[in-house]
Structure 1
Amino acid sequence: MRLNQRMFSLVFLLFLAGCYYDAYVMPDNPEITTDVSFSKDIIPIFNQSCNSSGCHNMGGTAPDLTPTNAYNALKSGNYINTSSPENSELYQWMNGQRSLPMPLSGPNQNYNAYVLAWIKQGALNN
């Protein structure tokens, strides 16, 4: 009986020793050096990743990121901070600084880089 307890204890300790937690470190965003257009660069990101059924579409979770409503929803909802782009709520949600990264399928560093560059360039409705 004692042998079984010792074996169980040994196996349990080996199991615990094999468990570890690696903190997820977000890779750096690629640097975007070209002008970013809201209609040509940002809206396609939202169309592909954000405004699908049940997510950030009309009648879904705020903000509404459909092409006709996205800009006004982001501006009026204070999701954009042009004086401190990295602190913009939109950018923080996308890169996982506010709980789960959006979209739920995981962060896309290229998308994050374009959104951050757009905000740094003044978040124009162009």
Structure 2
Amino acid sequence: MSDRPTVAYKVLTADQMAALERDGDFAGAPVDLADGYIHLSTAAQLTETVDKHFAGQSDLHVAAVDLTSFDDISLRWEASRGGQLFPHLYDGPLLLETVIAYGPLERDADGRVRLPVAG
């Protein structure tokens, strides 16, 4: 377990990000609500997630989530695309207090999604 990342990322629309800032929590996007958990991605998975699930969308934001805030019941690593383990948040909303950085989705010169930096 110690080799797993301690930070994961949630892609949000501008409206979802505004609601998280305003309300202090985010119950989930429609796909999260349908699946029963909040989908997160590791840094290594983030660009593929954006390319696959948010293609053509603009005004997106990325929130960095402190995974050490959750226990093994709330945070589960489950196989998804190609057998990769993805972090999934069960049992409640994503709380703003667990978000350590966020900002507009930007890409570097190679097309990879830039990670938000706390500041």
Q: Greater strand percent: which structure?
A: 2
Mark yes or no: TM-score above 0.5: no
Instruction: Pick the TM interval, shorter chain.
Output: under 0.3
User: Which structure has the larger Rg over C-alpha atoms?
Assistant: 1
